[in-house]
Structure 1
Amino acid sequence: MHTHAVAMHMSDGLVNGPTALLFAVVAGVALAVALVRARADLDDRTAPMAGLVTAFVFAVQMINFPILPGASGHLLGGALVAILVGPWVGIVSISIVLVVQALLFADGGITALGLNITNMAVIGVLVGWLVARSLRRLAVRSKGGLVAVAFVSALVNTVIAAMGFVLEYAIGGAGGATTGTVFALMGGLHVLIGIGEGVITAATVGAVAAARPDLVYLLRGTGTPLARRSATEGIVR
């Protein structure tokens, strides 16, 4: 039997109506808070970066990578956006990607949009940010430290976001499978997907840091030699 597992996008009918409505409210409240808080993080320098990151995540999410025979995953982007543009702008960015995917590409159900935003935009971004922020001392030491932090943050955020899916299914699952089965499938697959997520996130953050470390949100206010040097070079040029 051929199965095709794509990271996290819930389709219509996987959970019952009341559960979908509950998490639509959760997603709406979280997005409203993020929109208000994001204003403080957006300026002439970060706004273009936010647009680029959103477009990048949208494009890369369209590409699946194999993890097992018959199963594939794609970038979620939670840790990536959190590290590059911060948690609040990150939540908005991933939410925009998910809304466009659901409306234009039927990737993820319309009734499940609140569930998908909760898992990938809210849980994914916030967990990615909390892990990265807790490891910031390592990230500021060197580019290698930053890349390692990006990898770990992405791996953890992918697995925890998958557990959000399991929780929602446990509350109001309507897909016919037991919660235990869903837990085992989602947990196992998303550890593997998280490794791929970590590699993509680490490579992307490393590339940005090599060119413009002053644009990496996680490094803001840390006075890292890299960030200071980049800012100085910009003045010299």
Structure 2
Amino acid sequence: MHVPDGFINAPVSVAAGVVAAGAVAVSLRGARRELDERIAPLAGLVAAFIFAVQMLNFPVAAGTSGHLLGGALAAILVGPYTGVLCVSVVLLMQGILFADGGLTALGVNITVMAVVTTVVGYAVFRGLVKVLPRKRRSVTFSAFVAAALSVPAAAFAFTLVYAVGGTTDVPIGRVLTAMVGVHVLIGLGEAAITAFTVGAVIAVRPDLVHGARGLRQKLRLRVGGELVDAAPDPEPEPAPARSRRTRTVWLTGLAASLVLAGVVSFYASASPDGLEKVAADKGFDAKAEEHTAADSPLADYGVEGITDGRLSGGLAGVIGVGLTVVAGTGVFWAVRRRRTDEDVTAASVTTPSASV
């Protein structure tokens, strides 16, 4: 659903840029509370994983494909504020380096693909986990539904933006019907990927899933016909062991991202995605402008000068994953450091100084 330059006029693009900048600013502040010692090491990896999976277009209808948007997935794994930043980092890398998504439309893309999907996805997720039984399967199911609904919500949001700032005179009702219709199907693919990923992380490290925190219940056993509290949990896992397990999850996730982007992406569907298909069918694709970064050595997810398509695309994917994890980790490290500095400052203010 990457919006190219030329689809949205300049005033609305600027307004969307202001909205996106405000959302990112709020998210930077909110992420300070989310990026604790468990989440901070994984946030950059989540961004890289979303980048990798977005390269895997899957067929959804005749001549149409879709790909992960990732807002719901990021929000559930690392929190809604950090989730907005994860997807924003991905969109920035794609726009600047890979000529995917217009630079003048970056505000539109962040608003639609990062903010809307994250807010809608996380709101649906939290609503479901509050009413469903407090079990891991409930978290996975809630992730599925949240992701499925976040995609048509993004399609609806794009249609609203196009209704206000579209550069062609197209019946908006037809655009809305086509956009939401095809993105309902894409949402099912997004839901499957999101539920599988969340379920996989919960299976090995449930404490690393932001959306699954606070769902544990005290275990009760039936003894002599009466329910009694079970013995308390043993001592918490030592920090070195927990650190090793986190490192294992991180390395496994990075390896999976590299394989998906470097190898599996070659087998992705070549059909246009939902927005491209609707734009072609409704006739507003003619307004798309050549990307400012069209001469980038990584444009269109290929490496300039390498003629072998499989090698070129795979290498571009690996480079993209590497750059995204570095950029994302840098951003989240800086946010985490700011939180640590603020905590130290607050502690020094509240702790009374010793008298001499």
**How high is the TM-score relative to the length of structure 1?**
0.90
Q: Which whole-Å CA distance do the structure 2 matches of 1:178 and 1:24 have between them?
A: 25
Q: Say which of 93, 118, 128 aligns to 1:135.
A: 128
**Are residue 60 (structure 1) and residue 49 (structure 2) matched?**
no
**Are residue 18 (structure 1) and residue 26 (structure 2) matched?**
no
Residue in 1 that maps onto 2:160: 167
Q: Output the amino acid matched with 1:64.
A: N
Residue in 2 that maps onto 1:216: 209
Deviations 1:126-172 (CA, angstroms, capped at 9, x unpaired): 11110111112356622221111011000111111111100000001
Q: What value does the CA root-mean-square deviation take over the aligned residues? A: 2.2
Q: Say which of 150, 154, 170 aligns to 1:157.
A: 150
Tell whether the 8 Å contact from 2:139 to 2:212 is kept in structure 1 after alignment.
no
Q: Which whole-Å CA distance do the structure 1 matches of 2:168 and 2:137 have between them?
A: 43
What is the DSSP-based 3-state SS (H/G/I as helix, E as strand, rest coil) of the residue aligned with 2:91?
helix
Q: Say which of 175, 181, 196 aligns to 2:189.
A: 196
Tell whether the 8 Å contact from 2:151 to 2:187 is kept in structure 1 after alignment.
yes
- The aligned length equals 229
Q: 1:104 to 1:40 in 2, by over 3 A?
A: same
Q: Output the amino acid matched with 1:111.
A: T
Identical pairs, percent:
52
Following TM superposition, by how much is the alpha carbon of 1:178 offset from its aligned partner in structure 2, in angstroms?
A: 2.2
Following TM superposition, by how much is the alpha carbon of 1:58 offset from its aligned partner in structure 2, in angstroms?
A: 0.7
If asked which structure has higher relative contact order (CA below 8 Å, sep 6+), I would say 2
Following TM superposition, by how much is the alpha carbon of 1:231 offset from its aligned partner in structure 2, in angstroms?
A: 9.1
Tell whether the 8 Å contact from 2:134 to 2:215 is kept in structure 1 after alignment.
no
Residue in 2 that maps onto 1:36: 29
Q: Which whole-Å CA distance do the structure 2 matches of 1:197 and 1:157 have between them?
A: 9
What is the DSSP-based 3-state SS (H/G/I as helix, E as strand, rest coil) of the residue aligned with 2:59?
strand
Q: Which whole-Å CA distance do the structure 2 matches of 1:211 and 1:54 have between them?
A: 20
Tell whether the 8 Å contact from 1:139 to 1:148 is kept in structure 2 after alignment.
no
From the two aligned structures, give the one with the greater helix fraction.
1
Q: Which whole-Å CA distance do the structure 1 matches of 2:164 and 2:113 have between them?
A: 18
Q: Which whole-Å CA distance do the structure 2 matches of 1:174 and 1:44 have between them?
A: 46
Deviations 1:170-191 (CA, angstroms, capped at 9, x unpaired): 0011144321221111111100
Q: Which whole-Å CA distance do the structure 1 matches of 2:146 and 2:214 have between them?
A: 20
Tell whether the 8 Å contact from 1:212 to 1:230 is kept in structure 2 after alignment.
no
Q: Which whole-Å CA distance do the structure 1 matches of 2:239 and 2:218 have between them?
A: 15
What is the DSSP-based 3-state SS (H/G/I as helix, E as strand, rest coil) of the residue aligned with 2:214?
coil
| Gap runs ≥5 in structure 1 | 1-7
**Are residue 207 (structure 1) and residue 232 (structure 2) matched?**
no
Q: Say which of 117, 134, 145 aligns to 2:138.
A: 145
What is the DSSP-based 3-state SS (H/G/I as helix, E as strand, rest coil) of the residue aligned with 1:107?
coil
- Structure 1 runs of 4+ off > 6 angstroms? 228-231
Residue in 2 that maps onto 1:3: none
Q: 1:82 to 1:230 in 2, by over 3 A?
A: farther
